[in-house]
Amino acid sequence: MALGMASCGPDLGRGGDPSGLGPGLSGDDLGGASTDGGSVGTVGTPPTTGGADGGDDAEPDSGDGPPLPPVQDCNYESTSFGQGIVLLDVPTGSPEVLAFTITGLPEPAAITTATLHFVSHDADHPGEEGVVSVNGAGGYDLPADVGWDNQDANGSIDVTGTLQAGINVVEFGAGSLVPATYYGIGDVRLEVQAQVDECEPAPRPPPKDAIPREIDFWDAAYQMRHNWVLRCDGFEYAYTAYADEHIDSDCDGLYAPDGSRRGTATFTFADVVPATYEIQIHSRHTDNRNPLGALFVVNGEGIRIDQRDDADFTTDIWGVRELGGQVTVVLDSSQESESDSVVWVRLAPVGG
C-alpha cells in the first residue's frame, strides 16, 4: 500500500480576446498613460556566477570540482508526514509493505550520515516484529520492545549508505512472528548530515482533499453595486466606473453611477480545507486602471495588484498563505476614486 505568478503573461481566461482589447471600450475601460512600477509578486532571477580565472599561481585542475561546503544537519520528511499512523496487518511471509516516499535528498557523495526516524505503534516483539528497507537495501529489523505493547514509540535506524539523490522509498514489511504481523508506522523522516550549502527538502504536496476553489465575479457580493459594471457581451468581467457611457454594458441594468467609482466586491469561500494556497486574481488590465493598484484583501490582509498596463485579461498572484475554514477575499475599490477590475478569484492548493 503506497502512502505516501508574479503576473503571468496574457491569459485569455474567460472572455479573453486574442486580438487585444475588446469592443466598446471607453472612459474607465480604456486610455490613459501607464505608470512605471514593478508588477505585484514578481520574483527576480539571480545572476549566474562564474568561476574564478586561473593565474600563474593557480592550482592544476584535479577534475574533482570545487570543495564541498561544511556539514549541515538536514531533515527530510515523507510526503505523508503528519497524517497519522498506518497499520500493517498481514500474515507471516506476506509481501505487502507500508511504503513512504521522501524527496529532495542531495547527492550521496555529499551525505556523511543518515538516520531514519519514525513513530511506531504496538511494536513489541524484538527481532521478529518487522523488516525495514530503504531503496530496496538494508533489511533492518524494526526496533521493538516488550514495553511497547499497544503503545506509540519513537524508532530510529542508521541507514547511512542506502540513500540516493532525489526520491527515496522506505518500506516496512512483515516480520517472522507467527501467525501474523501487526504494527503501525507514521511520521517517517530522514535526518541527514550532508555537505550542502542549504538543506532544501522538496515541499510536501497539499492534502488530497484540498482542491482548487474559484468564485466568478457573478457570484461576488457587491457594495455600492450602482458603481459596478458587470459585462456579459463576450468580455465578461466586473469593473468600477463613473460615466453614463457604460450603462449599456452592464448586463443586469443596475449600473447607475454616482460619479465616485467606489464600491467593494466580496468573494466568500466556505469550508476551505486547511492547507497552503496560492491566491490567484484574474482581471482585465487596461492603461487607465487605478494607479495605486487594485486593493485585494484576503482575510483582512491587503495587497495591491497593478492592473495599469495593456496586458488585457491576466492572472496575477496575490500571494501564498495558510488558509482554512471560511476565506474572504475583497476587492476594495472604496479607497480611491479609480477603476479596478476582476473576473474571478481562485484558491489553488500548493505544497508546503
Which residue did the predictor score with more confidence, 39 or 68?
68
Q: How confident is the model at residue 64 (pLDDT cuts 50, 70, 90)?
A: low
- The predicted pLDDT at position 28 comes to 57
Backbone φ and ψ of 38, nearest 5°: -70, 145
Name the CATH superfamily, with its identifier, for domain 209-350: Galactose-binding domain-like (2.60.120.260)
* Helix residue ranges per DSSP H, the chain: none
Global pTM exceeds 0.75: no
- The predicted pLDDT at position 167 comes to 86
Domain map (residue ranges) of the chain: 71-195, 209-350
> Model confidence over 1-54: pLDDT tens digits?
433 333 333 333 333 333 333 434 444 554 333 333 333 332 223 333 333 333
Its CATH architecture, for the domain 71-195, is Sandwich (2.60)
**Residue 219: is its pLDDT beyond 80?**
yes
Q: Give the DSSP letter string of 171-220.
A: EEEE-S-SSEEEEEEEEEEEEEEEE-SS--PPPPPPPTT---EEEEGGGS
> Model confidence over 154-192: pLDDT tens digits?
999 999 999 999 889 999 999 999 999 999 999 999 999
**Residue 58: is its pLDDT beyond 50?**
no
- The predicted pLDDT at position 265 comes to 98
Provide the b/e sequence for 322-338 (b: ≥16 CB within 10 Å).
ebeeebebbbbbbebeb
Backbone φ and ψ of 226, nearest 5°: -65, -15
Count of alpha carbons within 13 angstroms of residue 145, beta-carbon side: 10
- The predicted pLDDT at position 103 comes to 85
- The predicted pLDDT at position 63 comes to 52
- The predicted pLDDT at position 138 comes to 86
- The predicted pLDDT at position 36 comes to 35
**Which one-letter DSSP state was computed for residue 20?**
S
Angle 30-36-41 (CA atoms, 0-180°, nearest 5)?
95
Tell me the mean pLDDT in the region 48-67: 44
Cell numbers for 351: 505544497
How many angstroms separate the CA atoms of 118 and 80, rounded? 12
Amino acid at 79: T
How many angstroms separate the CA atoms of 352 and 217, rounded? 29
**Residue 331: is its pLDDT beyond 60?**
yes
Which residue did the predictor score with more confidence, 350 or 118?
118
- The predicted pLDDT at position 24 comes to 41
Tell me the mean pLDDT in the region 203-213: 85
- The predicted pLDDT at position 318 comes to 94
Tell me the mean pLDDT in the region 202-221: 89
> Model confidence over 75-104: pLDDT tens digits?
999 878 888 899 999 999 998 889 898 888
Which residue did the predictor score with more confidence, 275 or 201?
275
Q: What percent of the chain is predicted at pLDDT more than 70?
A: 80
Mean residue pLDDT of the chain comes to: 83
Q: How confident is the model at residue 65 (pLDDT cuts 50, 70, 90)?
A: low
Backbone φ and ψ of 248, nearest 5°: -70, -15
- The predicted pLDDT at position 311 comes to 83
E runs forming strands in the chain: 71-77, 86-91, 97-105, 111-121, 130-134, 137-141, 152-158, 166-174, 180-195, 213-216, 221-223, 228-231, 237-240, 264-285, 294-298, 301-305, 312-332, 341-342, 344-350
> Model confidence over 99-146: pLDDT tens digits?
898 888 999 999 999 999 999 999 999 999 999 999 999 899 999 999
Backbone φ and ψ of 284, nearest 5°: -110, 115
Same fold, 71-195 and 209-350: yes
**Which one-letter DSSP state was computed for residue 134?**
E
Contacts of 269 by beta carbon, 8 Å cutoff, 6+ apart: 213, 215, 326, 327, 328, 329, 347
- The predicted pLDDT at position 118 comes to 98
How many angstroms separate the CA atoms of 228 and 261, rounded? 8
Tell me the mean pLDDT in the region 243-259: 96
Angle 252-295-210 (CA atoms, 0-180°, nearest 5)?
85
